[in-house]
Amino acid sequence: MTARSFQLGAEATRGEFVRQQSRFRDWVTADGSSGFPAEPGRYHLYVALACPWSHRTVIVRQLKGLSDVVGVSYLHPYRDERGWAFDGDECVDELHGWEFLSAAYLASDPTYEARVSVPVLWDRDTGRIVSNESADIVRMLNCEWDEWGDASVDLYPEELRPEIDSVNEYVYANVNNAVYMAGFSETQKAYDRAYRRVFDALPALDARLGDSRYLVGDTITLADWRLWVTLVRFDSVYHTHFRCNGARIVDFPALWGYTRELYQLPGVAETVSMEQIKRHYYTTHDMLNPKRIIPAGPEDLDFWEPHGRG
């Protein structure tokens, strides 16, 4: 896969990576007013464990106790120009036997020509994608299936929403997406800008998490999971593969303790496949790693070390 196959918009002339807008933005609602009523067994997630955007949907589904309510299928970590695929082995589409996730996009919109991304929230009844936007999917999972899930877990409390939204915006621009912008830059200048964003933000977030246990309020929210999915991949992948080598997460005391604390919460560690994460990034982006050799380290990364927070 070449850098060109990533969507490049008007910014392309400046060598910047531009992430495409999500095409499917419908909403599952508890009262059914959206046309997609929440029901157990009706909706299904297509995710890749390697992908940070997928990862947060997997975590929220888990924390909300929705494992038996919303199904899930996993895409294979290696992706070529045909897009995310099922390999028929450990990654199977139990619903349709599809080989490629592109089938879901074409079933939903036969004219779809943009990139096939994960995660996808699929509706088995209408046979179409409800949403391919993780930020929306985690909000739906947080409350719309509460009749069957754990209603006591609220990751997006009403009174904290404005602050969560504003932290999310900052973290998206300076961390989640900035590491990709650094990795997929096509000019030195574009890379330098992205790198600066990341290494201005990480010390700022380290300071914030030195003063408070979580990003917003005294409870874990969607803002934390947004940041965390990038932190957990950082030292193994982004530091090396995306040239974000200003420091590692283990070098930031608060960020590192926080990464371990969230990792150690019940149900979270099993959503992390470092094997799939490394395999995906280092074998899929040929323009960055044409020989597809997967780095062996880091050796000192122990997410189970006591976190000492609280």
Ligand X SMILES: N[C@@H](CCC(=O)N[C@@H](CS)C(=O)NCC(=O)O)C(=O)O
Report the side by side order of strands in the sheet with 71-74: 71-74, 43-47, 120-123, 128-131
Q: Does residue 22 interact with ligand X by CB under 6 A?
A: yes
Cα 228 from Cα 236, distance rounded (Å): 14
Cα 72 from Cα 64, distance rounded (Å): 14
- Find the part of the chain contacting ligand X (CB under 6 A) among 24-32, 110-118, 186-194, 195-203: 110-118
What is the smallest separation between the CB atom of 19 and ligand X, expressed in angstroms?
6
Secondary element (H or E) of residue 143: helix 134-143
Choosing from 51, 91, 195, 238, the catalytic residue is 51
Contacts for 291-296: CB closer than 8 Å, 24+ residues apart: 295/240
| Other beta carbons less than 10 A from residue 59's beta carbon | 24
CB 278 within 8 A of CB 237: yes
Residue 51: active-site member? yes
Q: Does residue 183 interact with ligand X by CB under 6 A?
A: no
> Nearer Cβ to ligand X, position 80 or 150?
80
| Burial class of residue 38, CB neighbours in 10 A (0-12, 13-18, 19+) | buried
What is the smallest separation between the CB atom of 179 and ligand X, expressed in angstroms?
11
Total chain residues near ligand X (CB under 6 A): 15
- Find the part of the chain contacting ligand X (CB under 6 A) among 29-37, 115-123, 221-229, 253-261: 115-123
**CA–CA distance from 75 to each of 12, 83, 197, 220 (Å)?**
29, 10, 31, 28
> For residue 308, what are its two tokens?
């000492």
- Find the part of the chain contacting ligand X (CB under 6 A) among 103-111, 129-137, 141-149, 221-229: 129-137
Q: Does residue 83 interact with ligand X by CB under 6 A?
A: yes
Q: Does residue 122 interact with ligand X by CB under 6 A?
A: no
Q: Does residue 230 interact with ligand X by CB under 6 A?
A: no
In the chain, how many H helices and how many E strands? Answer: 10, 4
What is the smallest separation between the CB atom of 283 and ligand X, expressed in angstroms?
14
Q: Does residue 286 interact with ligand X by CB under 6 A?
A: no
- Find the part of the chain contacting ligand X (CB under 6 A) among 27-35, 116-124, 156-164, 243-251: 116-124
What is the smallest separation between the CB atom of 113 and ligand X, expressed in angstroms?
13
Q: Does residue 236 interact with ligand X by CB under 6 A?
A: no
What is the smallest separation between the CB atom of 69 and ligand X, expressed in angstroms?
20
Cα 280 from Cα 282, distance rounded (Å): 6
> Nearer Cβ to ligand X, position 129 or 209?
129
Cα 278 from Cα 197, distance rounded (Å): 23
> Nearer Cβ to ligand X, position 251 or 275?
275
What is the smallest separation between the CB atom of 249 and ligand X, expressed in angstroms?
19
- Applying CB under 6 A, which of residues 45, 58, 118, 138 lies at the interface with ligand X? 118
Cα 148 from Cα 146, distance rounded (Å): 5
- Applying CB under 6 A, which of residues 62, 117, 221, 276 lies at the interface with ligand X? 117
Q: Does residue 108 interact with ligand X by CB under 6 A?
A: no
CB 67 within 8 A of CB 60: no
Task: Kindly give the pairing relationship between strand 43-47 and strand 71-74.
Answer: parallel
- Applying the rule CB under 6 A, the residues between 47 and 66 that interact with ligand X are 51-53
Q: Does residue 115 interact with ligand X by CB under 6 A?
A: yes
Which residues are tagged catalytic? 51, 180
Write out the residues near ligand X by the rule CB under 6 A.
6, 19, 22, 51-53, 83, 115, 117-119, 132-135
